[in-house]
Amino acid sequence: MAAPTGLNAPLSITFLGAAALFITDGQTRLLADGFFSRPPLLQVAFGRIQPDVPAIRRGLERAGIDRLDAVLVSHAHYDHALDAPEVARRCGALLAGSESSANLARGWGLPERQIRAVLPGERLVFGAFRVTFLPAAHARPNLAAGEIRRPLASPARASAYRDGGCFTLLFEHPAGAFLVQSSAAFLPGALAGVRADASLISLAALGRRPEAYRRAYFEELAGRVGARVVCPIHHDDFLRPPGEEPALMPRWMDDTPAALRSLEAWAALRGVEVRRLPPWKPVPLLPTQA
Ligand SMILES: [Zn+2]
């Protein structure tokens, strides 16, 4: 197992609900995904949705975010990417993601100089962070598959926010490495050769998959990369912002308790620590910082 290095770097992570995470080493400030608006279910299902700018402002304030170097978008579904362009605009950040995510940003009017469309396997450097956009799969069911081929203006149907291809985000830093998997699926072998001290993995829709699939997912995303800490993300009810304690996804959406039990059982077997991230609170992530 690769030993983490640079034990003194103050790397912290703040869970913002769904798959949104604020990551900083005190110098460089990164956001994975960007989702603060919580359009109600009926609007998502039958109406049109758009970024809720006051909710974005409140969310950024609550998380203590005023400036960002980059917003890194895992895929262009609304519960990941809806607010990323406005967050990038307010925080003077680069928005990096697939061509579909770039088209969301263009539709919102983010200047082209703040947009970076990346291809699977591409790596960007922000301060001491190296961020690699590794190819990834999307969980089933995928209710909005395909590409966003033109700038997408809002309001728009939730189904117009097509995934545009998924990335596993790999963060490498002198303090250690971690990965963020924002959708509960895997491409077998996609992480060959990748090492990470911690894995932050989506549980959304995993409660509906067979136990064998869940175990294979944990093994691919955390086991084979050598993670010693695994943090569930996207396990909370994304129809509302997380409170002090995140509410789990409602039972009609997913059986999150079953997915959490599987994760605990797998982790106990493998000697991996399961760490639940408190919403809105920066916490050290890497095993040596615990
Ligand atoms: Zn998705």
Whole-number Å distance, alpha carbon 289 to ligand 1 midpoint, is 31
The whole-model pTM stands at 0.94
pLDDT tens readout for residues 176-199: 999 999 999 999 999 999 999 999
Tell which residue, 142, 137, 201, 187, has the closest CA to residue 166. 137
What do you get for the CA distance between the two ends of the chain, in Å?
Answer: 18
Using a pLDDT cut of 90, give the percent of the chain over it.
87
Per-residue pLDDT at 6: 43
Distance 141 CA to ligand 1 centre (A): 9
Q: List the one residue out of 124, 100, 95, 99 whose CA is nearest residue 110.
A: 95
Is it the case that residue 5 has pLDDT exceeding 80? no
Report yes or no: 44 and 154 within 8 Å, Cβ to Cβ.
Answer: no
Q: What is the pLDDT of residue 2?
A: 40
Question: What is residue 271's predicted lDDT score, i.e. its pLDDT?
Answer: 97
List, for residues 67-84, the tens digit of each pLDDT value.
Answer: 999 999 999 999 999 999
Q: Which CATH architecture has domain 12-284?
A: 4-Layer Sandwich (3.60)
pLDDT above 70: residue 3: no
Compute, in angstroms, the gap from residue 288 CA to the centroid of ligand 1: 32
Assign 3-class secondary structure to 189-228. Answer: CCCCCCCCCEEEEECCCHHHCCHHHHHHHHHHHHHCCCCC
Q: Ligand 1 center to residue 90 CA distance, Å?
A: 24
Q: 77 alpha carbon to ligand 1 midpoint, in Å?
A: 5
- Contacting residues for 290 by C-beta, under 8 A, at least 6 apart: 229, 273, 275, 284
- For ligand 1, the distance from its centroid to the CA atom of residue 3, given in whole angstroms, is 33
Residue 9 pLDDT: 54
For the chain, the average pLDDT equals 93
* Closest to 205 (Cα-Cα) out of 258, 277, 136: 258
Query: How far apart are the CA of 75 and the centre of ligand 1, in A?
Result: 7
User: 144: CA distance to ligand 1 center in Å?
Assistant: 8
How much distance in Å is there from the Cα of 81 to the middle of ligand 1? 9
Q: Is the pLDDT of residue 222 over 90?
A: yes
- Mean pLDDT score, 24-28: 96
Q: Return the pLDDT at 244.
A: 79
Instruction: Look at residue 241 in the predicted model and tell me its pLDDT.
Output: 82
pLDDT (0 to 100) of residue 1: 37
Ligand 1 centroid vs 247 CA: distance in angstroms? 19
| Contacts of 73 by beta carbon, 8 Å cutoff, 6+ apart | 33, 34, 80, 81, 84, 95, 96, 97, 98, 101
Ligand 1 centre and the CA of 4: distance in Å? Answer: 31
Report how far ligand 1's centroid is from the alpha carbon of 6 (Å). 34
pLDDT in tens, 87-114: 999 999 999 999 999 999 999 999 999 9
Q: Is the pLDDT of residue 288 over 80?
A: no
Is pLDDT larger for residue 246 or for residue 155? 155
